[in-house]
């Protein structure tokens, strides 16, 4: 007998041709939901899954700007408002050449579950553009952001949809986007965007929240398996904001970071990447070149491996923090062969479905991104509440809340997995726990 979820996977395939990333996340999530649907015929009758996999709204728009040479440039902008059952749409903006509807929908769909897991009142959305900020001047980035917001501002608002950063969108871009929103609306509505600078309404701790949250989550996962984070050797990928926050917290909690990577290759530093070496990751990111090789020139004893991924390096724990589909089946095989037992996703969907299945089938305990990296968006929701109360929060308060939220996410994923017969499987548990919350709200709100 076929699975109940297969009919929905077929619908998704028919409706979203040429969008493999979106279909990949749908297959991954729905596979976990089969036992839930078997127990809950009401959710089948109400078309819950079919409604959930269709974004409530998606917009695409032209973004025209003028580069430093005076040449007219055209990009495409997007916002997919996926689900508002739990609160205003919430999710980042990604600026990268690879952005197209399939990437926006995969991220928007993941965001629904991630945001539900935080326990905070936020729906799921994602947006962005195929604009590449790497190698662009400040002026070019500003003109692009202003043009992008000139269209987007019609669709967002503190009670409607609250964007934030993601790949290629950091503090600088958020500032330019917010400035233009304010100019267009003549309102200082801080709660319309998160990840703002602290002087104009941002939350202390938001910058590092995603990375710190990933490490808290990983620690919870290790402890649930009777292990300690302290003393573990770790390999991460990426060197952006998420990788940096992860590196800082790993060091603080006594783990040893051996390697990180960029699109140009990876850095191995057996002496450990800590202190000024971690700070240097930020310098690399801000260089606008998107390469990590200069690290090896600056820190003697470290090595650069051109064009390679770091998954062959022997370590106790791997945390991919770069981007989607960074870890394929052949990498999963390397990870298992190296004897590693723990793997926690930092970036969104960094593992192909077959690689993730291989890791789990071979005794590697895996933490899924939608649970592990939810600390970022959780702190964004705290930033929204700070803005509506008009009372700045203290960094220590934020850290404390973040740690509690990450523990709750871990525990609710672990409990849901146990309840639906998956044992200790955080991948399945996160999907189930997030889904049940959204499904309850959607049921209460009728067929919309
Ligand atoms: N882009 C981040 C994420 O994937 C943050 C989103 C937000 O803060 O709204 O969750």
What CATH number corresponds to the domain at position 235?
3.40.50.720
123 lines ligand 1 (CB under 6 A): no
Instruction: List alpha helices for 225-345, DSSP H.
Output: 241-252, 276-286, 294-298, 329-337
Task: Check whether residue 64 and residue 165 sit in a common domain.
Answer: yes
pLDDT of res. 94: 98
**pLDDT at residue 1 tops 90:** no
Q: Separation of 90 CA from ligand 1 center, angstroms?
A: 8
Task: Check whether residue 234 and residue 330 sit in a common domain.
Answer: yes
Q: What is the CATH number of the domain that holds 148?
A: 3.40.50.10860
Task: Check whether residue 282 and residue 361 sit in a common domain.
Answer: yes
What span, in angstroms and rounded, lies between the C-alpha atoms of 175 and 371?
28
Mean pLDDT of 40-63: 98
Task: Check whether residue 310 and residue 357 sit in a common domain.
Answer: yes
Query: Residues in the chain, how many?
Result: 448
pLDDT band at 8 (very low <50, low <70, confident <90, very high): very high
Q: Separation of 434 CA from ligand 1 center, angstroms?
A: 16
In percent, how much of the chain has pLDDT > 90? Answer: 99
User: Residues with catalytic annotation?
Assistant: 126
User: Do the beta carbons of residue 125 and residue 89 sit within 8 Å?
Assistant: yes
**pLDDT at residue 448 tops 90:** no
In a domain, 2, yes or no: no
In a domain, 308, yes or no: yes
Q: Among 157, 188, 219, where does a domain finish?
A: 188
User: Do the beta carbons of residue 93 and residue 167 sit within 8 Å?
Assistant: no
Task: Check whether residue 285 and residue 225 sit in a common domain.
Answer: yes
Could you tell which of 80, 86, 91, 375 is best to mutate to test the pocket of ligand 1, judged by most ligand atoms within 8 Å of the CB? 91
Query: What atom of ligand 1 comes closest to residue 373's alpha carbon?
Result: 10
Digit-coded pLDDT (tens) for 90-113:
999 999 999 999 999 999 999 999
Task: Check whether residue 70 and residue 164 sit in a common domain.
Answer: yes
124 lines ligand 1 (CB under 6 A): no
Query: Where in the sequence is the domain holding 172, given as residue range(s)?
Result: 55-188
- Strands 256-262 and 265-268, by their bridges, are antiparallel
In a domain, 249, yes or no: yes
345 lines ligand 1 (CB under 6 A): no
The number of domains in the chain is: 2
Digit-coded pLDDT (tens) for 10-29:
999 999 999 999 999 999 99
Q: Separation of 108 CA from ligand 1 center, angstroms?
A: 10
Q: b or e along 145-165 (b: 16 or more beta carbons within 10 Å of the residue's beta carbon)?
A: bbbbbbbbbebbbbeebbbbb
346 lines ligand 1 (CB under 6 A): no
Digit-coded pLDDT (tens) for 343-390:
999 999 999 999 999 999 999 999 999 999 999 999 999 999 999 999
Task: Check whether residue 266 and residue 320 sit in a common domain.
Answer: yes
Q: Which residues pair with 237 in a beta bridge?
A: 320
What span, in angstroms and rounded, lies between the C-alpha atoms of 391 and 67?
39
372 lines ligand 1 (CB under 6 A): no
What span, in angstroms and rounded, lies between the C-alpha atoms of 218 and 215?
5
């Amino acid at each position: 007998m076929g699975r109940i979820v297969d009919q929905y996977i077929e619908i998704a395939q028919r409706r979203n041709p040429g969008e493999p990333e979106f279909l990949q996340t749908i297959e991954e999530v729905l596979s976990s939901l089969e036992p839930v649907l078997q127990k809950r015929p009401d959710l089948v009758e109400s078309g819950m899954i079919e409604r959930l996999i269709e974004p409530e709204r998606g917009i695409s728009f032209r973004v025209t700007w003028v580069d430093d040479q005076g040449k007219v440039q055209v990009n495409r902008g997007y916002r997919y408002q996926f689900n508002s059952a739990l609160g205003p749409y919430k999710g980042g903006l990604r600026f990268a050449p690879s952005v197209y509807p399939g990437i926006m929908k995969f991220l928007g769909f993941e965001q629904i579950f991630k945001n539900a897991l935080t326990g905070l009142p936020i729906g799921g959305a994602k947006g962005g553009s195929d604009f590449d900020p790497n190698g662009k001047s400040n002026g070019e980035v500003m003109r692009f952001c202003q043009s992008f917001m000139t269209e987007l501002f019609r669709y967002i608002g503190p009670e409607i949809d609250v964007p934030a950063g993601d790949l290629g969108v950091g503090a600088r871009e958020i500032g330019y986007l917010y400035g233009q929103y304010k100019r267009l609306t003549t309102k200082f509505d801080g709660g319309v965007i998160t990840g703002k600078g602290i002087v104009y309404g941002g939350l202390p701790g938001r910058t590092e929240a995603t990375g710190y949250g990933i490490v808290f989550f990983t620690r919870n996962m290790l402890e649930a398996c009777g292990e300690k984070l302290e003393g573990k050797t770790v390999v991460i990928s990426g060197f952006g904001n998420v990788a940096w926050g992860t590196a800082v917290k790993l060091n603080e909690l006594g783990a040893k970071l051996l390697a990180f990577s960029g699109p140009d290759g990876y850095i191995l530093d057996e002496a450990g990447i800590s202190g000024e070496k971690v700070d240097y990751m930020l310098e690399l990111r801000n260089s606008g070149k998107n390469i990590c090789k200069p690290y090896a020139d600056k820190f003697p004893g470290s090595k650069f491996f051109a064009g390679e991924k770091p998954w062959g390096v022997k370590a106790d724990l791997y945390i991919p923090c770069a981007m989607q589909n960074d870890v394929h089946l052949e990498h999963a095989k390397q990870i298992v062969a190296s004897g590693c037992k723990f793997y926690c996703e930092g970036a969104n969907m960094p593992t192909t479905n077959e690689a993730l299945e291989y890791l789990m089938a071979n005794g590697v305990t895996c933490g899924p991104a939608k649970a592990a990296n939810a600390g970022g968006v959780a702190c964004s929701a705290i930033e929204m509440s700070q803005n509506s109360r008009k009372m700045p929060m203290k960094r220590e308060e934020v850290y404390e809340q973040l740690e509690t939220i990450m523990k709750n996410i871990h525990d609710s994923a672990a409990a849901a997995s146990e309840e639906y017969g998956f044992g200790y499987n955080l991948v399945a548990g996160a999907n189930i726990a997030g889904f049940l919350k959204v499904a309850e709200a959607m049921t209460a709100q009728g067929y919309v």
